[in-house]
């Protein structure tokens, strides 16, 4: 069976790091899905001079301190990009490239979303459009699929889909793609041509937080939470820039701390309810 963590945290920036440290101080098993440090907002800051207790320093220096503390904390660091969060009864499954983690609760700490979707991408997500070859590949065995993406990972996934018996059309160039269909996606449009397909795997470098978990609510570009950083999905919490403005380090760290305390309480309450029933 896949390892079941108390809390799976998506994002290892300021918010995710703060959340992980708090979960560990509460004695919880925490896994952090971590993209490289260079992808964090903090890394790009020329000078940070408004963080209490520390002298002014570059964002890169401060991000380095945070990352080292996280690495030494005892949290399980899962390198890669989370692709989806699936509610599975009393826990959640988190697909991270070709790995699958289980968590009793999830904290989204994935920073700001700046991604533009292709026309038809959101409409056909789960109805012919997928972001995860490992999760959905078997549904398309013996069928024709398009793989959109030019990264090494996209090529690996295209190879994988071929190996399980899909007919794979590879689209590695950047450009104006669109997905077309009725009930389900049935064609990919690119450079004036229409390619009939049964499925479209879109494998970009980033996965927008708005597509990570079904059932979240959004307002003004951020995930809606209450004061406990709880989202509309029970057991899923959010912290940092992904919850909206102001985009500030101290807010991200504070929200990470609150989200972690709430997630720990959620885990304790749901497991004691289970023992009582
Ligand atoms: C140029 C600049 C200057 C700034 N200066 C200041 C300042 O002086 N003072 C101040 O208070 N604030 C400043 N900020 C804002 C501050 O840096 C951010 O508010 C803060 O770092 C946000 O932290 P976060 O953890 O929410 O997000 P991020 O730091 O963006 O971290 C999110 C992490 O999650 C990762 N991620 C996203 N999706 C996934 C996924 N699917 N799977 C796995 N990982 C994922 C991202 O790659 C990233 O590493 C500045 C920001 C910028 C851009």
- Domains defined along the chain, listed by start: 4-115+208-276 (3.50.50.60), 129-202 (3.50.50.60)
* Residue 219 confidence (pLDDT) above 60: yes
- Ligand 1 contact via 130 beta carbon (within 6 Å): no
Ligand 1 contact via 11 beta carbon (within 6 Å): yes
How far is the centre of ligand 1, averaged over its atoms, from the C-alpha of 208 (Å)?
Answer: 14
What per-residue confidence (pLDDT) applies to 122? Answer: 81
Distance 140 CA to ligand 1 centre (A): 36
Rounded-to-10 torsion of CA 116, 118, 119, 123: -90
Tokens read off for 123:
């409409």
Determine the pLDDT at residue 126: 80
Per-residue pLDDT band for 206 (boundaries 50, 70, 90) equals low
The answer to whether residue 245 scores a pLDDT higher than 60 is yes
| 131 phi and psi angles, rounded to 5 deg | -110, 0
Q: Is the CB of 45 under 6 A from ligand 1?
A: yes
Rg value, the chain, Cα = 20
**CA nearest 242: which of 222, 225, 219, 262?**
222
Instruction: Give me the residues paired with residue 20 across strands.
Output: none
In short, whether 50's Cβ falls inside 6 Å of ligand 1 is: yes
pTM as predicted? 0.82
Cβ of 81 less than 6 Å from ligand 1: yes
Pocket of ligand 1 contains residue 32 by CB under 6 Å: no
Residue 275 reports pLDDT greater than 60: no
Q: How remote is the CA of residue 151 from the centroid of ligand 1, in Å?
A: 23
pLDDT over 90 for what percent of the chain? 73
pLDDT at 213 > cutoff 70? yes
Give distance in angstroms: CA of 230 to centre of ligand 1.
20
User: Which residue minimizes the CA distance to atom 48 of ligand 1?
Assistant: 40
Dmax (CA) of the chain:
61
pLDDT digits (tens, 9 = 90+) for 160-182: 999 999 999 999 998 899 999 99
User: Is the beta carbon of 108 within 6 A of some atom in ligand 1?
Assistant: no
Query: What is the residue with the minimal CA distance to atom 51 of ligand 1?
Result: 41
Over residues 11-35, the pLDDT tens digits come to: 999 999 999 999 999 999 999 999 8
Going from the Cα of 246 to the center of ligand 1, the distance in angstroms, rounded, reads 12
């Amino acid at each position: 069976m896949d390892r079941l963590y108390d809390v799976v945290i998506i994002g290892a920036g300021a918010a995710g790091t703060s959340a992980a440290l708090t979960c560990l101080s509460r004695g919880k098993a925490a896994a952090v899905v971590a993209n490289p440090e260079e992808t964090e907002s903090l890394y790009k800051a020329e000078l940070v001079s408004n963080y209490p207790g520390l002298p002014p320093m570059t964002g890169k220096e401060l991000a380095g301190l945070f990352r080292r503390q996280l690495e030494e904390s005892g949290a399980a660091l899962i390198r890669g990009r989370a692709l989806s969060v699936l509610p599975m009864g009393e826990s959640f499954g988190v697909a991270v490239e070709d790995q699958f983690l289980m968590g009793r609760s999830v904290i989204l700490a994935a920073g700001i979303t700046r991604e533009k979707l292709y026309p038809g991408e959101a409409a056909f997500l789960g109805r012919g459009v997928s972001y995860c070859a490992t999760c959905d590949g078997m549904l398309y065995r013996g069928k024709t699929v398009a793989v959109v993406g030019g990264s090494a990972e996209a090529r690996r996934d295209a190879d994988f889909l071929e190996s399980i018996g899909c007919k794979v059309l590879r689209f590695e160039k950047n450009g104006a793609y669109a997905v077309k269909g009725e009930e389900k996606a049935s064609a990919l449009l690119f450079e004036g041509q229409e390619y009939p397909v049964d499925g479209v795997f879109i494998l970009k470098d980033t996965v927008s937080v708005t597509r990570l978990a079904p059932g979240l609510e959004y307002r003004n570009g951020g995930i809606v939470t209450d004061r406990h950083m709880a989202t509309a999905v029970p057991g899923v919490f959010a912290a940092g820039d992904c919850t909206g403005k102001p985009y500030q380090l101290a807010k991200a760290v504070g929200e990470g701390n609150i989200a972690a305390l709430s997630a720990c309480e959620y885990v304790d309450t749901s497991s004691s309810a289970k023992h009582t029933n």
